[in-house]
Structure 1
Amino acid sequence: MADSVKYHLERMLPELEDLEERGIFSRAEVKSIIKRRTDFEYAIHRRISKKSDYLRYIEYEMNLEKLRKKRKMRLRLDKKPRGKNKSEPNITLSDHSILRRIHQLYHKLLKKFSGDVHLWIQYLEWARQSGSSKLLGKSFARVIQYHPTKPVFWIMAAAWEYEENSNISSARVLLQRGLRLNPESQKLWLEYFKLELLWLIKIRERRRLLFGEGGKPKKSTAVPEPKPNDADKVDVDLDDEDDDDNRDGDEAPTGVSVPSLSEESGLENPLENDPVISKSLTSEPESVLEKSLSPMQKALLELAIPRAIYRNAVKAIASNLPFRLEFLELYRQAGDDTQIGQDEIYQSLATDFGDDPVAISAICERYLTGLTTSDPGFPAALKMAIDEYKEYLTDTSSPVLCTRYLRFLSSCLARTDEENLRAYISKLLRKTFVLAHDLEVAEPTAYIMWSDFVEDKSEKEAALTFGIDRHPTSIELHLAYIKQTMHKGAEFTYSHFQAAVKAAAKQDKHTIWIPFIDWVVSESNLPAKDVERTFNQSATVSELGYSEYETPLLVQYIDWAHKVGGIAKCREVCERLRSLRTRQPEFYERWIQIETELCSQCSSQTSKNKQIKQIRKVYEILIEADTKRHDSWLSCIEFEMEVSGDMTQVTHLHWRALKEVDNQDAFSKGYEALKQRV
């Protein structure tokens, strides 16, 4: 191991000498770098190296590279020296040596932990940010061979090919191969679809610049792709001995070249039989920039490829409505020129999801896509959407569709300022609310929307009353009604809370009890006996007893008892509740907290000693509730250390706890931490 470490450290000498000669680091700083790197090298070369050793080493090198860049900029070392050809970059060994070392460390780490997907993503993202194009192509090919069934790597590789290398052909091949192995990956289908849309938008824009509206070219050649110009990014490659993929010394291509995978054998490409997709792979991408286009090339510019991808995607992943709606959203983001593709999706929704309220809503609201309320065509489009909604509602009478229709109208009303249009929508909304109620297709949400829509208080209350009559177990309707009728007084509100509790299903009890308890605690006009009766009722078995919501409500109970009746009332409530059955630790801990706060307010030692005795009593109750719970013992010991100061009690408790607790290691660590802190 020592020889290997010495070898790697010796290879760093030219780089460190360069850094010192250029004044980026001082001699003392170089010595510090050597010391840190030596420690890291020994850590990663031991018999069983850890992932964390590599990551700490990588983090150190990344921070060192940031510091080097800052100092180089401050010293203006990026400027060309006088007499040097200005076209040549002012780059020396140290400008790329740290980046190369980070790559080497990542490669060694990924050889040991090749199955760590997150680690691969971390490396690929860093390599892309650092501009390491030569290594990225090989790294993408390598990770895909390790993880061919992980769509994320096919997508990252294709995105890099298209965005950085402007290679649409390679990006297409990568995504199609990814789909052959992962035909049910929604992400892959959507990314392939998005890629073709982006390419189409770019081609259309370039044709507009080349030929204009009159068809005369504005330039004799195609518009070149802009390339990033980042002076801080230095492309690096690994030495032969550090890169198993380039042992022969040949210059590595910058693209992603994935060899044939064993997983691909025998698999059918879901796209290979589609003539449009096949044509896109065989034709040159630049051919669509010619002035005269063949019928096939014209079809490519008219969404032929995205439409073919959608058709194949819905064959591979059928009966998935959200998946299809994502294609629709991508079309909308691409602009108005995608209407033919959107119409195809709407047609497929009507065919395959004709009874689904979500699909029907998308179909009906398509007329308003891309329109604002100020557009002249908005009223006509709104009328068409409303007519189609009505037609569907006549055929299906679906409560869910009715709610979506009401929500659509409410949304249109909220964003409309024109007076006549607002009056039209308001009239239609009022009529629809009444009709939905009469036909018994209004959901609880519809009644709440009805109440929010009308302005008169009596109409609001009437709408919610209608809803409760139709849906007596709806908690949201009861809560809305209670909120609306708060002005009628505490007695009325209390009685309706009680009615709501009785109407609620067992599994929904907590959704009414929690606001009920919050209200009775805050309501000053409610008699204390009613508040106490409410707390006791909430903790019964038929309500919230033995549920996860019981203890928080009981903690509120003792807080309320302490507030209205002092410590005597608090103790009376706590003793009574704990006598019924063993409570959760949080209950006793809150009781102890109240007693401890009282102890800190004692004015005499006599009263303090009496209070300490009371706190010890409650701690014993807490410990007896679960003697194996080490947190209870530690809390009691902490009290004896900090408040009573009785070390005899501390020793005794420690001795008892060691015989009882399950997790003695956790208890011992906690005990040592207490001794250090107190």
Structure 2
Amino acid sequence: MADTVQYYLEQMVPELEDLEQKGIFSKAEIKSIVKKRTKFEYALKRRISKKVDYLRYAEYEMNLEALRKKRKVRLDIKSNKTSLSDYAGVRRIYFIFERVLRKFKGDVALWLQYIEFAKGNGASRTLGKIFASAIQMHPTKPSLWIMAASWEFEENANIVAARVLMQRGLRLNSTSTSLWHEYFRLELVYVEKIKARRKILGIDQRSQSTLEELEAGQTDANDDNMIMLPKITGEEFVDEADETGEKGAVRKMEESMVEALKENNNPVLEGLLGRIVYRNAIVAIPNNLPFRKKFIDIYADFSDTEMGEQEIYESIRRDFPQNTEARSYLAARHLSRANEVDVENPEFVKGLRSCVEEFGRCVEELPTSEMWEHYTRFLEQWRRKVTDENLKLYLTKSLTKAYKTAQKKDFLSPASYLTWAGMLLDESDRTQAQSIAKQGTQKYPASVELWSTRIDLAIPAMGEVEQQQPLYVEALRNNPASLKLWTIYLDWLVLQWQESVLEDKDLEEAFTDAMTKTTTLLPSTDPDADINKLKDLVMMRYVEWAARSGGIKKARAVYKQIVSGSFPNPKFYEACVRLEQAQSERGTAGQLLSKIAQERVEWLFEMAVRVDERRDGMWNWDCLFDVTMTFFH
């Protein structure tokens, strides 16, 4: 091990001497660098090397190289000849990455860090080797294929190599959605660059019959306006400059063939390659609607994509005829980019009318509650967005008509009842909103959200408890395991007590009744299920109220009664311990109060440990007990 470290250190001598001769680092700094590198090298040579040691070493060398460059600029060191110290630091960082990747080949994050470092240093040749090694080690990682293809296209202007990488990646990862999307984007960017170059050269409106005219206009090669494009191969266009006589054959082509090569009719410039990618993609991943919708989103960043978008829409219509989400997406497509359009524009009105008409056909062809919900949600979305009074009135009437029709046909979902009531409330029609919420709970008595909305709309004047109490009773009868309904019910009870509408005995009876109802519910196997939290909720609220109404003595009497008559969970005991702590903080009776509280806490811990017999739970209680006893002492 020592021999290897010594060998590496000896290799640094010429570089360090060069740095000292140039005055970039002093002799003391050189010694510090050697000492630091020696420490890192020995760390890398231990029996079980750690990845973090390599990364710290690489980070140190990166900082050292950055410092060297800054000092070289500050000292104004100029030389026509590149010396050893100018590249030795970067070379060492590469060497560190190579060493760590020999030991941790399966770490994709390390490969990505290596790639980013090489990109930052503009090491084009090295990057090619890195990508090849990374892909060889991780052929099923789409991100590596995408990065490699992007680098080939954007940095090397090599569309052929980028396509090859994407196609190879897709052969190995045919179900990777990200690979298909990025390959699709690659072809669109390629065509967009060709269009931009044609526009700069002023040939975008002229008939083009050859590759030479498309790719190489007669212009100055040093023109700043030139856009470097990847070379277009002869497989895509006819080469007019061929000396075998094809030039004469091109001149004799039929008029229809010549027309096909005009910009407006050129299949490549119309996005044929992207459409081919899409067709292959939906064969590989046939039943994924979000996957297809993403292609539309990608098209939004490019120009002249109407033909491609229409093909995607047609494929969705063909392959998802009974899918309500797909039908809704197709119906709303006329306003898919409406965020970029002024809603007062006549085109917006035209698009909105088209959407409404198509949604009308959808609910007729696919009459389901989901389809009607998509329709009403669409109308509600735009009703909230528009500001023009006429448009808002049109959407409100359309929405009301849709709700009534769906209700008549028994296709109105709980979510639709909620949005209907919300719309009426926005229109200041509280009475009708209450009526709709009531109809919703009658139709869907198990809908917690509908009951919550109905209760909120039915808040009576102060003191009229008897008008609202039956709503809570009926809601909890239909949804006995709803944590939300029990929470708002208990909050309402305490609020009525605070406002002196309910007396102490009334509230105590209500809490006792609530405990009886929640205790009889069967627990769920899921520890996070609401039904498992109900009993604790009611018991803890009961104890908290007792402490507020009668002080700690009443709270102790209540939780002692609960413990003797029920089987609380550990969280209940923990809440009682917190209550005792809070009472001791507020107490003024000195040691006597502290002693009583300590005895009660010890009893609570003893009861809690009996319930929580699991080893991990007991350890937690031991820790909490130690902290609590420290607090009392």
Kept in 2, the 8 Å contact 1:40–1:57? The answer is: yes
Distance 2:539 2:71 in 1: 62
The aligned residue for residue 470 of structure 2 is 495
The aligned residue for residue 485 of structure 2 is 512
Give the letter for the 1:619 counterpart: F
| 1:153–1:532 Cα change, 3 Å | same
Write the mapping of 1:115-264 to structure 2, written as runs, cut at 5 A.
Answer: 115-211=106-202, 215=206, 219=219, 224-225=226-227
* Equivalent residue in structure 1 for 2:235, among 283, 286, 301: 283
* Paired residue secondary structure (2:337): coil
| Segment drifting more, 325-334 vs 621-630 | 621-630
Distance 1:587 1:556 in 2: 10
Give the letter for the 2:474 counterpart: A
Give the letter for the 1:394 counterpart: E
| 1:322–1:609 Cα change, 3 Å | same
* Equivalent residue in structure 2 for 1:331, among 299, 302, 326: 299
Kept in 2, the 8 Å contact 1:513–1:538? The answer is: no
The aligned residue for residue 438 of structure 1 is 408
- Asked if residue 566 in structure 1 is aligned to residue 551 in structure 2, the reply is yes
Distance 2:470 2:20 in 1: 83
Distance 2:367 2:437 in 1: 22
Give the C-alpha shift of residue 306 in structure 1: 0.7
* Equivalent residue in structure 1 for 2:352, among 372, 382, 385: 382
- Asked if residue 396 in structure 1 is aligned to residue 366 in structure 2, the reply is yes
Give the letter for the 1:156 counterpart: M
Give the letter for the 1:51 counterpart: K
Specify which structure has the bigger relative contact order, considering alpha-carbon pairs within 8 angstroms and separated by 6 or more residues: 1
* Equivalent residue in structure 1 for 2:533, among 549, 552, 556: 549
The aligned residue for residue 363 of structure 1 is 330
Give the letter for the 1:428 counterpart: S
Distance 1:441 1:138 in 2: 61
1:439-486 alpha-carbon deviations (Å, 9 max, x no partner): 111111111111121221112112212222222211111111112222
1:206-238 alpha-carbon deviations (Å, 9 max, x no partner): 2111115654979455964479xxxxxxxxxxx
- Asked if residue 104 in structure 1 is aligned to residue 88 in structure 2, the reply is no
Write the mapping of 1:580-595 to structure 2, written as runs, cut at 5 A.
Answer: 580-595=565-580
Kept in 2, the 8 Å contact 1:172–1:281? The answer is: no
Kept in 2, the 8 Å contact 1:9–1:38? The answer is: yes
1:502-556 alpha-carbon deviations (Å, 9 max, x no partner): 21275xx234333433444455346333552465246413277984424355444
The aligned residue for residue 470 of structure 1 is 443
Kept in 1, the 8 Å contact 2:197–2:226? The answer is: no
* Paired residue secondary structure (2:300): helix
Give the letter for the 2:322 counterpart: D
Give the letter for the 2:408 counterpart: D
Kept in 1, the 8 Å contact 2:149–2:161? The answer is: yes
| 1:126–1:494 Cα change, 3 Å | farther
Kept in 1, the 8 Å contact 2:157–2:228? The answer is: no
Give the C-alpha shift of residue 62 in structure 1: 3.3
* Equivalent residue in structure 1 for 2:508, among 502, 524, 529: 529
- Asked if residue 301 in structure 1 is aligned to residue 301 in structure 2, the reply is no
* Paired residue secondary structure (1:542): coil
| 1:329–1:570 Cα change, 3 Å | same
Distance 1:139 1:124 in 2: 7
Kept in 2, the 8 Å contact 1:595–1:611? The answer is: yes
The aligned residue for residue 666 of structure 1 is none
The aligned residue for residue 254 of structure 2 is none
| 1:370–1:10 Cα change, 3 Å | same
| 1:21–1:532 Cα change, 3 Å | farther
Distance 2:62 2:454 in 1: 60
Give the letter for the 1:399 counterpart: S
TM-score (norm 2): 0.83
Give the letter for the 1:591 counterpart: C
Kept in 2, the 8 Å contact 1:110–1:120? The answer is: yes
Distance 1:219 1:522 in 2: 82
Count of matched residue positions in the alignment of Structure 1 and Structure 2: 579
| 1:441–1:610 Cα change, 3 Å | closer
Name the % identity. 36
Distance 2:86 2:513 in 1: 74
Distance 2:492 2:218 in 1: 73
| 1:599–1:418 Cα change, 3 Å | closer
Give the letter for the 1:365 counterpart: A
The aligned residue for residue 55 of structure 1 is 55
RMSD: 3.2
Structure 1 residue runs of 5 or longer lacking an equivalent are 228-254, 256-278, 645-678
Distance 1:28 1:577 in 2: 75
Distance 2:58 2:114 in 1: 10
Give the letter for the 2:508 counterpart: K
TM-score (norm 1): 0.78
* Paired residue secondary structure (1:114): coil
Kept in 2, the 8 Å contact 1:149–1:181? The answer is: yes
Structure 2 residue runs of 5 or longer lacking an equivalent are 208-216, 241-249, 251-256
Give the letter for the 1:562 counterpart: A
| 1:150–1:442 Cα change, 3 Å | same
- Asked if residue 3 in structure 1 is aligned to residue 6 in structure 2, the reply is no
The aligned residue for residue 269 of structure 1 is none
Give the letter for the 2:332 counterpart: E
1:154-206 alpha-carbon deviations (Å, 9 max, x no partner): 11111111222222111111000111111111111111111111112221112
1:375-410 alpha-carbon deviations (Å, 9 max, x no partner): 321212211221111112112212111111111112
| 1:576–1:68 Cα change, 3 Å | farther
Distance 1:177 1:57 in 2: 35
* Paired residue secondary structure (2:404): helix
Give the letter for the 2:627 counterpart: E
Distance 2:351 2:479 in 1: 43
* Paired residue secondary structure (2:267): helix
| 1:534–1:22 Cα change, 3 Å | farther
Give the C-alpha shift of residue 49 in structure 1: 1.1
Distance 1:553 1:311 in 2: 58
Distance 1:558 1:11 in 2: 75
Distance 1:534 1:212 in 2: 85
| Segment drifting more, 173-182 vs 3-12 | 3-12
* Paired residue secondary structure (1:319): coil
Distance 1:72 1:215 in 2: 54
| 1:31–1:497 Cα change, 3 Å | farther
| 1:518–1:200 Cα change, 3 Å | farther
The aligned residue for residue 481 of structure 1 is 454
The aligned residue for residue 319 of structure 1 is 287
Give the letter for the 1:563 counterpart: R
Distance 1:579 1:106 in 2: 66
